[in-house]
Amino acid sequence: MGYTLIDGKATSAEVKEEIALEVNKIKARGGKAPHLAAILVGEDGASQTYVESKVKACEVCGFESTLIQMPDNTTEEELLLKVEEINEDDNINGLIVQLPLPAHIDVKKVTKAILPKKDVDGFHEMNLGRMLAGEPALLPATPFGITMLLKRYNIPTKGKHCVVIGRSHIVGTPMSVLMNRPFDCTVTLAHRHTYNLKELTQMADIIIIAIGKPEFLTADHVKEGVTIIDVGITRVKDELSPRGYVIKGDVKFDEVAPKSLYITPVPGGVGPMTIAALLKNTLIATQAQQND
């Protein structure tokens, strides 16, 4: 069976072009370009790289961006004060606080402190609640990006059995909600305590996996004609690689792809779409704020 590779890199570029056109329309009407602020606490290399890629993406779309870097020893109170400052700044439309945060800072407290209308990561409980109720909301960025891929590739979902593996509030849980509505799947949300996982995945028409275990999903987990969305991204040591590591997804691609109808690669699948969705959320937030 020949499979279709779901190209997140190309799709992300398309989405960014569309966003740039919308930004030009806003400017032509005399409005201000969307402005995204990002707070980075500490010196985590992967986070630094990720935030820098978000800033570059802002430039591509014609957004304004502000990067606020704070040291590892930043107190929770100092971070919350900075969040409050950005909440009150009408020139800034969206705010993200890059995760992970240092252990002494309560992530939930920081997430709650961000104004829901500026919560372009889609983590605030008010946005999650609105999503659950089927109301317009700023969706969690990775699930939002996945929904864009499903729509743009016209992947059949209605009445299909979708197994989501991983129940984080960032990916798995919101993804299970969105696959039920608006995508009309019958959804099974599986996790590390699911005892009959292989039995479930072998029945699945669509599998979305986000557990951070390299090459966990193998050919014997899936049936012919399955659609695979691999959210995992892990650095695995590899002395033969110039960087000393390779990037692996949660799916053993070479084994699973031949049985698939559609499949995302890692890298180049879901990752670029997370940034595209973040920018789309910032555009949506800006338009809502300018219409207030």
Euclidean distance between CA atoms 230 and 253, whole angstroms:
9
pLDDT at 47: 83
pLDDT at 235: 87
Q: Name the stretches of the chain with pLDDT < 70.
A: 1
- Tally of CB atoms within 10 A around 200: 17
Euclidean distance between CA atoms 141 and 128, whole angstroms:
12
Return the CATH number of the domain spanning residue range 141-271.
Answer: 3.40.50.720
Q: Is 237 a residue of the active site?
A: no
In the chain, where does the domain assigned CATH 3.40.50.10860 lie? Answer: 30-115
pLDDT at 292: 76
**Is the separation of the CB atoms in 207 and 229 below 8 Å?**
yes
Residue tagged active-site, from 7, 16, 118, 121: 121
Q: What is the pLDDT of residues 194-211, one digit of tens each?
A: 999 999 999 999 999 999
Euclidean distance between CA atoms 149 and 144, whole angstroms:
9
Residue tagged active-site, from 7, 16, 98, 248: 98
pLDDT at 198: 97
Q: Is 90 a residue of the active site?
A: no
The type of residue at 21 is L
Q: Is 54 a residue of the active site?
A: yes
Candidate CATH numbers 3.30.390.50, 1.25.40.10, 3.40.190.10, 3.40.50.10860; the one for domain 30-115: 3.40.50.10860
In the chain, where does the domain assigned CATH 3.40.50.720 lie? Answer: 141-271
pLDDT at 216: 97
Closest CA to 175 of 135, 203, 148: 148
pLDDT at 1: 59
Q: What is the pLDDT of residues 239-266, one digit of tens each?
A: 888 988 999 999 999 999 999 999 999 9
